[in-house]
C-alpha cells in the first residue's frame, strides 16, 4: 500500500510549514490553533484513504468471448469485509480497465469495457485500487490480486471475398429442375450475373446472388506451421489467420480440423468445433521445430510464418497457402 500527496496536498503542506514558522516567530496562540487544525487535516487526509482501501478484494469474469484487439465487456466485483462502507474507489487494471465505485458495502459489481492487445491466458493478474476519500490532499493505492482467469482468443480478421474452395470441388452445382435457391449472399466478382436477385437489390441496395443447394463440402484441414526464425509478431499473425480461416470454413459448412506443431483438433463442425480450435490457438506457443505427421491433412489450408518454415517445401500439396510474414 502506498500514499502520495496531490498538488493540493503539497500546497497544504507548504502552507502548514509557513504557518508553523509564523507561530514560532510570534508565539501567538491563535496562530498555534490554526497550525493545529492544519496538522490535523493533513493527518486525517493521509490516514483515512489508507483505511478506506483496507481488506478490499477484486474478481473479474468475462460477459462475452474475449478476442485480441477487440473491445469487450468484463464484470468486476469489489468486496469489502468491513462493517463500514468504502467510498470513492477507483480500479485500474490490464486492457485499459478503469472503473469507479462510489460506495462499496459488502460487495459491488460493475461492467467495464476493455481491449487486450494479445491473445492468451490471463491469470494471476493484479489491479490497482486507488482512493483519496475524504479529501483531495493524498491518494492511497494498493495492488490486489484479481481473482479468476481470462482466456483471450486470437484476433479475428476480415478475409474479404475469400471463400473456401478445396481442390477438385468447384462452386455450387446447377439448380435441378424445379429446385429453388436456398439463400442470398453478397455478390462476389466472378459470380454468374444471371443469378443476381434484382428484387433483393431494390430492398437492400446491394448486389445479392441466389445461392443454390451445394453438395456436402469435403473436410478441410487448417495446418499452422509457426516454425522458422523467431518472430512473435509473425506468429501472432499466423494464429489470427488460422482462427479467421477456420471460422470462415465452418460458416461455409466444412468439416474442419486444426494441426499445429503442439496440438491437433480432429475434424468437426459447428460452433462447438470453432471454440475448440480457438482455445488451442489462444494457448499456442511459438514452436522450434515440426515433428508431426500430415496424414489426412493434405489439400487443406497451410499457414506458414515465413518461407523458412519447415512445411514450406510441401506447400504444393495444399489447396491454399498463406505466408503471414508477407501480409
pLDDT in tens, 66-75: 999 999 999 9
Mean pLDDT of 49-55: 93
Per-residue pLDDT, 167: 44
Per-residue pLDDT, 173: 38
* Separation CA 44–CA 41 (nearest Å): 5
Which range of 145-154, 158-167, 303-312 scores highest in mean pLDDT? It is 145-154
pLDDT digits (tens, 9 = 90+) for 76-86: 999 999 989 99
| Strand ranges inside 51-182, DSSP E | 57-62, 66-67, 72-80, 86-93, 97-104, 106-114, 120-122, 126-131, 138-147, 150-153
**Inter-residue contact 238 to 324 (CB < 8 Å):** yes
Query: Which three-class secondary structure state does DSSP give residue 142?
Result: strand
Per-residue pLDDT, 298: 61
pLDDT > 70? residue 234? yes
Mean pLDDT of 27-33: 92
**Inter-residue contact 296 to 266 (CB < 8 Å):** no
Q: Specify the DSSP element, H or E, that contains 12.
A: helix 7-26
Mean pLDDT of 187-192: 68
Per-residue pLDDT, 279: 95
Query: Which three-class secondary structure state does DSSP give residue 260?
Result: coil
- Please state which CATH number belongs to domain 1-153: 2.60.40
pLDDT > 50? residue 176? no
pLDDT > 60? residue 217? no
**Inter-residue contact 61 to 149 (CB < 8 Å):** no
pLDDT digits (tens, 9 = 90+) for 78-122: 999 998 999 999 999 988 999 999 999 999 999 999 999 999 999
Omega prior to 222 cis, within 30 of 0 = no
Mean pLDDT of the chain: 85
pLDDT bucket at 182, cuts 50 / 70 / 90 = very low
pLDDT > 80? residue 199? no
Mean pLDDT of 18-29: 92
In this structure, of 44-53, 215-224, 247-256, the range with the lowest mean pLDDT score is: 215-224
What percent of the chain is predicted at pLDDT more than 90?
A: 55
* Separation CA 223–CA 118 (nearest Å): 21
User: Alpha carbon 151 to chain centroid distance?
Assistant: 8
Per-residue pLDDT, 177: 39
Query: Where do you find CATH 2.60.40 in the chain?
Result: 1-153
pLDDT > 80? residue 181? no
- 255 vs 326, which has greater pLDDT? 255
Mean pLDDT of 40-46: 93
Pull the grid cell for residue 117.
492487445
Amino acid at each position: 500500500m502506498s500514499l502520495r500527496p496531490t498538488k493540493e496536498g503539497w500546497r497544504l503542506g507548504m502552507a502548514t510549514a509557513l504557518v508553523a514558522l509564523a507561530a514560532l516567530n510570534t508565539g501567538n496562540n491563535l496562530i498555534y490553533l490554526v497550525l493545529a487544525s492544519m496538522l490535523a487535516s493533513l493527518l486525517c487526509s493521509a490516514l483515512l484513504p489508507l483505511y478506506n482501501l483496507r481488506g478490499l478484494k477484486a474478481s473479474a469474469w468475462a460477459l462475452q468471448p474475449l478476442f485480441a484487439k477487440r473491445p469487450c465487456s468484463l464484470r468486476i466485483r469489489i468486496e469489502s469485509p468491513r462493517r463500514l462502507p468504502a467510498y470513492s474507489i477507483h480500479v485500474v487494471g490490464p486492457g485499459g480497465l478503469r472503473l469507479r465505485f462510489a460506495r462499496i458495502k459488502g460487495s459491488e459489481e460493475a461492467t467495464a469495457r476493455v481491449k487486450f492487445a494479445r491473445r492468451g491466458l490471463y491469470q494471476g493478474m493484479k489491479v490497482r485500487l486507488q482512493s483519496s476519500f475524504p479529501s483531495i490532499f493524498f491518494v492511497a493505492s494498493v495492488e490486489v490480486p484479481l481473482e479468476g482467469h481470462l482466456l483471450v482468443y486470437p484476433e479475428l480478421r476480415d478475409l474479404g471475398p475469400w471463400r473456401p474452395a478445396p481442390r477438385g470441388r468447384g462452386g455450387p452445382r446447377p439448380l435441378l429442375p424445379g429446385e429453388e435457391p436456398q439463400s442470398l449472399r453478397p455478390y462476389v466478382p466472378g459470380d454468374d450475373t444471371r443469378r443476381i436477385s434484382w428484387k433483393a437489390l431494390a430492398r437492400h441496395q446491394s448486389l445479392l446472388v441466389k445461392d443454390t443447394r451445394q453438395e456436402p463440402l469435403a473436410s478441410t484441414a487448417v495446418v499452422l506451421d509457426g516454425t522458422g526464425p523467431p518472430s512473435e509478431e509473425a506468429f501472432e499473425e499466423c494464429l489470427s489467420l488460422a482462427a479467421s480461416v477456420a471460422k470462415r470454413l465452418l460458416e461455409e459448412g466444412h468439416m474442419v480440423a486444426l494441426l499445429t506443431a503442439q496440438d491437433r483438433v480432429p475434424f468437426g463442425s459447428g460452433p462447438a468445433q470453432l471454440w475448440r480450435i480457438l482455445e488451442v490457438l489462444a494457448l499456442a506457443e511459438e514452436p522450434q521445430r515440426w515433428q508431426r505427421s500430415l496424414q489426412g491433412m493434405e489439400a487443406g489450408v497451410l499457414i506458414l510464418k515465413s518461407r523458412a518454415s519447415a512445411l514450406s517445401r510441401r506447400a504444393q500439396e495444399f489447396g491454399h497457402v498463406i505466408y503471414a510474414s508477407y501480409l
